[in-house]
Amino acid sequence: MTYRGLPPAIRIAVALVLGVAVGVVVAATLPVAVAGIATVALSTPEKVPWITSRLTAFVAYLALTGSVVYGLLLSTKILDAIAHRPVSFALHQDLAAAGLGLAGVHGALLALDRTIHFTLLDLLVPFASPYRPVAVGLGQIALYVVLLVTVSFYARRRIGTRSWRMLHYLTFLAFAGATAHGILAGTDTTQPWAFAIYTVSAIAAVFLTTYRIVLGLAAARERRGAHDTTGQAAERPTGGSRPAARAA
C-alpha cells in the first residue's frame, strides 16, 4: 500500500474534529481537576505525590497503549495510505520513550509518597513491594521490558533488523504486564473511567493482534500456493523437448 495522503478537505475536517474534541474534554475536566488538586494540596499536602503518581501512571499507560496500537497499525500497513512510514515509525518510537519516562516519574513519585512507604529496593526489585507485590511486580517487569525495547530502537543497526523485530515482540508482554498491574493494583479500577481505559486498550490491542495474525497466515498461504505453482511449472516438460527427442 503506497502513501496517498488524505484529501485536503478531510485533513481540515479531521483537525477541526480533533481540536473540538480536545477542547471539550479540557474545558470539562481541567477546571475540576485543578480545583481538586488545589484542595488536596491545601488540606492534605502529603497526598500530592500519591495523586501525581496516579496521574503519571495513567498517562504512561496510555502512551504505551498508543505505541503498541501504532506498531500494530504499522505492521498491518493500515496507516501507509495516509501517513509516511518514517513519520509513523518515529511516532511509534516516541510514544514508547514517553511511556518509559512517565513510568519512571511514576516510580520516583511513589518514593516520595508517605501513604505507602516504598524504599528504593521496593521500587527496583520485582515482587519486593510492601503493597500487593504481585501486581506491582508485574508493573516493574513491564517497565524493564519497555526499557529494553526502547533501547533496541537506538541499537537497531547493531543487532540487525531480524533480531530487532524478534525483540520487539516483547512489547506485547510489556503491555499485558502493565494492564495486569493497573487492574490488579486496585487503586483506581473501581472508577468507571479507569476500568474503561483498560478495557478499551485491551480490546484494541487484541483486535489488531488478531488481525495481524490473520494477515500473516493469509500471506503464508499465498506464498505456499505460489511456490507450489512454480514447482509444478518447473516439472512440466517443455514443448521443445519432444522434437529434439525425435531428431535424435
State the distance between the two ends of the chain, measured CA to CA, in whole angstroms: 53
- Mean pLDDT is highest, among 35-44, 141-150, 232-241, for 141-150
What is the DSSP-derived secondary structure letter of residue 147?
H
pLDDT score of 217: 87
Nearest to 141 by CA among 198, 188, 184: 184
Torsion of CA 8, 14, 15, 19, to 10 degrees: 160
- Mean pLDDT is highest, among 132-141, 162-171, 218-227, for 132-141
Q: State the average pLDDT over residues 82-101.
A: 84
pLDDT score of 239: 53
Tell me the pTM: 0.78
Q: Which cell numbers hold the place of 108?
A: 520516583
pLDDT score of 3: 60
Domain boundaries, the chain: 47-220
pLDDT tens digit sequence for 137-195? 999 999 999 999 999 888 888 888 888 888 888 888 899 999 999 888 877 767 777 88
pLDDT score of 189: 66
Q: Give pairs for 192-201: CB < 8 Å, separation 24+.
A: 194/58, 197/58, 197/61, 197/62, 201/61, 201/62, 201/65
User: Which positions ≥6 away from 3 have C-beta within 8 Å?
Assistant: 80, 81, 82, 83, 84, 85
- 138/219: higher pLDDT: 138
- 166/80: higher pLDDT: 166
pLDDT for 134 beyond 90:
yes
Contact 74, 88 (CB under 8 A): yes
User: Which positions ≥6 away from 83 have C-beta within 8 Å?
Assistant: 3
Per-residue DSSP letters for 65-132? HHHHHHHHHHHTTSGGGTS-HHHHHHHHHHHHHHHHHHHHHHHHHHHH-SSS---HHHHHSTT--SS-
- CA atoms lying within 13 Å on the CB side of residue 155: 11
Q: State the average pLDDT over residues 75-94.
A: 79
